[in-house]
């Protein structure tokens, strides 16, 4: 049996993860991260940062009879995740803060902290699995495809996978709630958060501050209106543009010119992506076809690897994709096994696909 540190958010998933490991005979300790300020009376449910969430995790740990720590990591979170979030939006890109939090906080800083205290493994309530293949360990999609979270875990370094445990990988959400009820956990019927942990009123724009107004232009470059800051827009957006006629969609953002480009829906389609910050779990070969997920809960689309560099790649979807968004995560899979994570950069429609 192992000494395992469980990251407990105060929700049902991590509560059950801790309970299952305890039932298996492991020496379990819980830890809850304070990442951003959220008032206890904010009305949030199932998040990871409010005082109520910390208290819920503490109560579950007490009920299970395991030690519990609360770590204040607001400074680290602000310097890394929040800083990147703001920088990306100011550049006209759409970031994924959960991906970054896993990269810089949960599976980097916490792993180091756990190792310092002598824990052999770190566990979470993510819906993901680990699979050994040809002597290496890989992340594999969870059994519950509606809850699979390997997309958000694609930033984890390959070398730390052997130190991780995902007790819920073989379970569905309803099964997890049933286990929580069997265990008598107070979080059994706790709701799930649908928001960013640092945007408590569901409006991330308030976390970014005021943006600089600029021009709305059509695809010919003609001014057709004014925007109130590119931070308030994302690729594929239709609502809130403020123009009559249409329908119009946000098809591009130019932070250098402070312009938001709008156009018809057909302008949203592209088939070629240049992606950076490549985090690979195995060698990627030019010419191979992988299943690409350009956003969470995407069904996955076949894409051919055109070129691979040390930290970037270029791929081409076999069928053009709608609203490929710079700044978003591009996760690549071979079957159910995660091959790589990356960040979408430039997107375009190649000439030979414009008739598709």
- DSSP string across 30-53: EEEEE-S---TTS---S-SSSHHH
Residues 171 and 305 both lie in one domain = no
In this prediction, residues 227-239 reach a mean pLDDT of 94
Burial of 196 (0-12, 13-18, 19+ CB in 10 A): middle
Whether residue 312 is found in the same domain as residue 327: yes
Q: What is the pTM of this model?
A: 0.93
Q: How many CB atoms lie within 10 A of CB 355?
A: 5
Catalytic residues: 101, 197
Residue 25 belongs to a domain: yes
Does residue 326 come out as left (phi exceeding 0), alpha (psi in the -120 to 50 range) or beta?
beta
User: Is residue 46 scored above 50 in pLDDT?
Assistant: no
Q: 17 pairs with which residues across the strands? A: none
pLDDT over 90 (residue 196): no
> Based on the domain organization, do 104 and 43 belong to the same domain?
yes
Q: How far apart are CA 227 and CA 217, in angstroms?
A: 10
Q: Are residues 231 and 306 in the same domain?
A: no
pLDDT at 24 over 90: yes
Check which CATH number belongs to the domain holding 295 and give it.
2.40.30.10
DSSP state of 241: -
DSSP assignment of 130-190 equals EEEETTEEEEEE-S-TTT--TTTTTTS-GGGGGGEE-TTTT--HHHHHHHHHHHT-TTTTP
User: For position 223, which CATH number holds?
Assistant: 2.30.30.280
The reply to whether 110 and 239 lie within a common domain is no
pLDDT single digits (tens) 153-178:
999 999 999 999 999 999 999 999 99
What angle is formed at CA 157 by the lines to CA 153 and CA 159, rounded to 5 degrees? 130
Domain annotation covers residue 159: yes
Q: How many domains does the chain have?
A: 3
Residue 332 belongs to domain spanning: 267-353
Query: Looking at the domain assignment, is residue 12 inside a domain?
Result: yes
67 and 158, same domain (yes or no): yes
Instruction: Let me know whether 108 and 130 are in one domain.
Output: yes
Three-state SS at 103: helix
Range in 230-239, 278-287, 322-331 with the lowest mean pLDDT: 230-239
Mean of pLDDT values over 245-271: 95
pLDDT for res 355 = 41
Residue 299 lies in a domain: yes
> Quick check: is 205 in a domain?
no
- Show which of 144, 168, 183 is a domain's final residue: 183
Average of per-residue pLDDT across 31-60: 76
Say if residue 139 is in the same domain as residue 222.
no
**What does the pLDDT read at residue 320?**
98
Boundary residue ending a domain (224, 246, 263): 263
Q: Is the pLDDT of residue 149 over 60?
A: yes
Q: Is residue 316 part of a domain?
A: yes
What per-residue confidence (pLDDT) applies to 251?
Answer: 97
pLDDT, tens digit, 9 for 90 and up, residues 295-321: 999 999 999 999 999 999 999 999 999
Q: Tell me how far apart the alpha carbons of residues 122 and 28 are, in angstroms, rounded to a whole number.
A: 10
Measure the CA–CA gap between 237 and 232, rounded to whole angstroms. 10
CB 171 within 8 A of CB 129: no
d(CA 227, CA 42): 31
Closest among 85, 88, 134, 120 to 105, alpha carbons compared:
85
Residue 172 sits in the same domain as residue 226: no
**For the segment 71-117, what is each residue's pLDDT rounded down to a tens digit?**
999 999 999 999 999 999 999 999 999 999 999 999 999 999 999 99
Q: Are residues 330 and 249 in the same domain?
A: no
> Is 158 domain-assigned?
yes
The pLDDT value given to residue 208:
74
Kindly state the tokens that stand for 101: 């939090």
Where does the pLDDT of residue 200 fall: very low under 50, low under 70, confident under 90, or very high at 90 and above?
Answer: low
Residue 95 forms part of a structural domain: yes
Closest CA to 234 of 345, 328, 314, 341: 328
Residue 273 shares a structural domain with residue 251: no
Of 229, 263, 297, the residue at which a domain comes to its end is 263
- Are 344 and 275 in a shared domain? yes
């Amino acid at each position: 049996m192992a000494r395992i540190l469980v990251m407990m958010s105060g929700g049902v998933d991590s509560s059950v993860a801790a309970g299952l490991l305890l039932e298996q005979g492991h020496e379990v300790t819980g830890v809850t991260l304070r990442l951003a300020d959220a008032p206890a009376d904010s009305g949030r449910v199932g998040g990871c940062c409010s005082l109520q969430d910390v208290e819920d995790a503490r109560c579950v740990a007490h009920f299970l009879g395991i030690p519990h720590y609360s770590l204040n990591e607001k400074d680290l979170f602000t310097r890394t995740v929040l800083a990147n979030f703001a920088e990306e939006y100011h550049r006209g890109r759409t970031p994924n803060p959960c991906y970054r939090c896993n990269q810089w906080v949960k599976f980097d800083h916490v792993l180091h902290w756990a190792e310092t205290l002598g824990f052999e493994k770190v566990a979470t309530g993510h819906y993901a699995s680990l699979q050994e293949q040809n002597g290496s360990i890989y992340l594999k999609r969870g059994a519950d495809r509606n809850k699979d979270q390997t997309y958000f875990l694609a930033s984890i370094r390959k070398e730390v996978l052997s130190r991780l445990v995902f007790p819920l990988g073989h379970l569905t959400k309803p099964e997890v709630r049933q286990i929580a009820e069997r265990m008598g956990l107070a979080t059994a019927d706790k709701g799930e958060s649908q928001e960013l942990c640092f945007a408590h009123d569901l409006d991330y724009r308030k976390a970014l501050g005021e943006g600089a107004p600029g021009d709305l232009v059509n695809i010919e470059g003609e001014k057709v209106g004014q925007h109130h800051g590119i931070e308030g827009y994302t690729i594929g957006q239709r609502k809130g543009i403020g123009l009559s006629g249409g329908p119009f969609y946000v098809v591009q953002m130019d932070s250098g010119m402070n312009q938001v480009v709008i156009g018809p829906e057909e302008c949203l389609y592209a088939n070629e992506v240049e992606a950076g910050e490549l985090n690979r779990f195995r060698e990627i070969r030019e010419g191979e076809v992988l299943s690409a997920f350009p956003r969470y809960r995407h069904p996955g689309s076949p894409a051919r690897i055109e070129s691979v560099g040390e930290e970037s790649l270029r791929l081409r979807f076999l069928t053009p994709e709608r609203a490929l968004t710079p700044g978003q995560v591009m996760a690549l899979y071979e079957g159910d096994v995660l091959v790589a994570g990356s960040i979408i950069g430039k997107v375009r429609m190649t000439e030979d696909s414009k008739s598709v």
